[in-house]
Amino acid sequence: MIVVTGATGQLGRLVIDALLETVPADQLVAAVRNPEKAADLISRGVQVREADYDRPETLALAFAGADKLLLISGSEVGLRMPQHTNAINAAKAAGVGLLAYTSLLKADEARMKLAAEHQATEQLIRESGVPFALLRHGWYTENYTGNLAPALEFGAILGSSGEGRVAGATREDYARGDAAVLLADGQENTVHELSGDTAWSAAELAAEVSAQSGKQVVYTDVPPAEYAKVLVGAGLPEPFAEIVADSSAATGRGELATATGELSRLIGRPTTPLADSVAAALKALQG
């Protein structure tokens, strides 16, 4: 039995979709904070169990009988460590045969603030004694293409990455890679550096948006502190805005530029090109 946490989230749903292509629905468990949001999964025959990272008693029931568990990292930056600790302890108590965790590309080397919780979680997993697979994700292309409306309105994409490059891939690419590892044998105590096949810069992203939309969009580089202020003005909470700005600066240092080729090998095809992601995002904006 395979248990997927965060199964109603953007990544988790895609992992479930990928697994359902080969795994019988009754052998999958969608572990979710709010089961009411998983009605569509129930209709497809997937088992749905309540799993709240903040309530360990729910995790014990959710992970019972799991041969393999995908622990999708919590979405609340700054609160992940107690949540992940609860999940890891529950996985160990349940006797899970493989604990797969969605970490950060080159997590052991990364200096961005966002890496700290991933580094600590990886250490906890190693110390737990549970066989593991570390799924170190690079950036989602949707981190950029999911917010093109203001770029088109103001003719600019802001950031602090300079000429730094991002080996981005789509959530679906990563989800299929995660599913491939869960389905494969011999994955105990492995580390997977997952990223897109081609690294691109923010300026190249802006050029692609311009070419496809017919509207001139340029990349404007600003200091991280200024970028954080802009993000706060756009409605992001200040702590998260600072994380985003810091991650952008880390991109400028090359922390997300590594194109390992491992993701495309796992999914059996090239990762989704930037041009395709931009096209999809622009189509979505057009309704």
**Is the Cβ–Cβ distance between 63 and 57 less than 8 Å?**
no
On whether both 232 and 204 belong to a single domain, the answer is yes
- Give the SS3 label for residue 103: strand
Instruction: Provide the pairing of β-strand 28-32 with 2-5.
Output: parallel
On whether both 43 and 142 belong to a single domain, the answer is no
On whether both 118 and 159 belong to a single domain, the answer is no
Model confidence over 4-40: pLDDT tens digits? 999 999 999 999 999 999 999 999 999 999 999 999 9
Domain that holds residue 100: 2-137
DSSP 29: E
- Give the SS3 label for residue 92: helix
Does an H or E element contain 230, and which? helix 224-233
- Give the SS3 label for residue 79: coil
On whether both 22 and 105 belong to a single domain, the answer is yes
Angle 128-133-136 (CA atoms, 0-180°, nearest 5)? 115
CATH, residue 166? 3.90.25.10
Cα 35 from Cα 7, distance rounded (Å): 10
Model confidence over 173-221: pLDDT tens digits? 999 999 999 999 999 999 999 999 999 999 999 999 999 999 999 999 9
Model confidence over 37-56: pLDDT tens digits? 999 999 999 999 999 999 99
How many structural domains comprise the chain?
2
In a domain, 228, yes or no: yes
pLDDT of residue 211: 97
On whether both 112 and 162 belong to a single domain, the answer is no
Q: Is the dihedral of CA 216, 217, 223, 225 positive or negative?
A: positive
CA atoms lying within 13 Å on the CB side of residue 126: 10
Cα 86 from Cα 220, distance rounded (Å): 42
Q: Quick check: 286 pLDDT over 90?
A: no
On whether both 219 and 103 belong to a single domain, the answer is no
CATH, residue 22? 3.40.50.720
Q: How many CB atoms lie within 10 A of CB 153?
A: 10
